Amino acid sequence: MKRKIAACLLACVLGSSLLAGCGSQRETTQEETGQTEDIQGEEETQTEDGQKENETQTGEAPAAGEETEIQVFIAASLNTVMTQIAEEFHKGHPEISIVFNADSSGTLMNQIREGYECDIFFSAAQTQMDTLEEEGLLVEGTRANVVNNQVVVVTLKDSGTAVKGLETLKDAESIALAGGSVPVGRYTREALISLGILEQTEDAADITTEQVSEALGGVEISEQDNVSKVLIAVTEGSCEVGTTYYSDTYGYEDQLAILEYVSYDLTGDVIYPISMVENAEADEAQSAAARAFYEFVLSDQAKEIFDSYYFDTDVERS
């Protein structure tokens, strides 16, 4: 069967060689994310009998020297840390290649619902995972909470902004803000509702960027598709301030100033759940490989890596 490869596919294949330039520099992974737009829609090479070249014919775990590939969909804010985790996993599983698709959790959810091949989904919010679970698209018993994050208001160091935090966003010349379907955009809207800046609504995700701008006195807002693009808009100076996650400031400590760590009282917890996804195209070897990586993400070794990238791992897993 042909595979659908998701738009914005992040080329993080860990096969016969280790990833180059990954780890501590977020700039590299952002360049890789941008390059994926050029390969949108490509299909995996297949053999004449329709079997994927990197899978075994028997459906058993790949033998030594044989590779199997898994598709892992991750929220954009997990890009750098998951690259590091994949590198560590690869040391013990050189036969398993991992392809990351990094984008907003809402975009990834829609791709899974549309039939894109996916073995593991790691979301930045519960809403998208809830939807997939209700539709029977998750492997039963594999959903687990992994980390907590925190919304922050950021600007370039020495920007001279008058903004002190969410309550003074109206004083900004321009704001980078993720759309309502993006978890960080929804959390920001929920915080503004809690502060009384935005009106209460049934679903904060439905509040448009135009409505946010109007509530802030008409300030210019640049809507972004995911949290990584918010960060780029601020670090490149196209927007004076933006709301992102604390974890996304990793590697940018010399460039960014954090104006406010937004209280959980305003946003609620920012929990990231993970789950294996029902994949009808996977054989036994691919399913076993996906299970191995899923379990590694939940391991104590991965927990230490998450901690080092500014994630909070003190969460209830279930």
Q: What is the CATH number of the domain that holds 156?
A: 3.40.190.10
Residues of the chain under the 50 pLDDT cut: 1-61
**Residue 123, CB half-sphere, CA atoms under 13 Å: how many?**
31
**Pair (136, 277) in one structural domain:** yes
In a domain, 315, yes or no: no
- What's the pLDDT at 62? 52
In a domain, 205, yes or no: yes
In a domain, 26, yes or no: yes
Backbone angles phi, psi at 130, to 5 degrees: -60, -45
110, containing H or E segment: helix 105-113
In a domain, 266, yes or no: no
Instruction: Break the chain down into helix, strand, coil percent, rounded to 5.
Output: 35, 20, 40
In a domain, 140, yes or no: yes
Number of domains in the chain: 2
- What's the pLDDT at 58? 30
Size (the chain), residues? 318
- What's the pLDDT at 33? 39
**Pair (144, 157) in one structural domain:** no
In a domain, 2, yes or no: no
Backbone angles phi, psi at 274, to 5 degrees: -125, 150
**Pair (15, 130) in one structural domain:** yes
**Pair (109, 29) in one structural domain:** yes
For 85, the domain range is: 9-148+271-308
- What's the pLDDT at 65? 52
**Pair (130, 245) in one structural domain:** no
pTM over 0.95: no
Say if CB 145 and CB 318 are below 8 A apart.
yes
pLDDT per position as a tens digit, 179-237: 999 999 999 999 999 999 999 999 999 999 999 999 999 999 999 999 999 999 999 99
Q: Tell the residue number behind the tokens 């700039």, with chain if given.
A: 27
Backbone angles phi, psi at 276, to 5 degrees: -75, 150
- What's the pLDDT at 149? 97
- What's the pLDDT at 27? 38
Q: How many CB atoms lie within 10 A of CB 44?
A: 15
* 317 vs 305: CA distance, rounded Å: 17
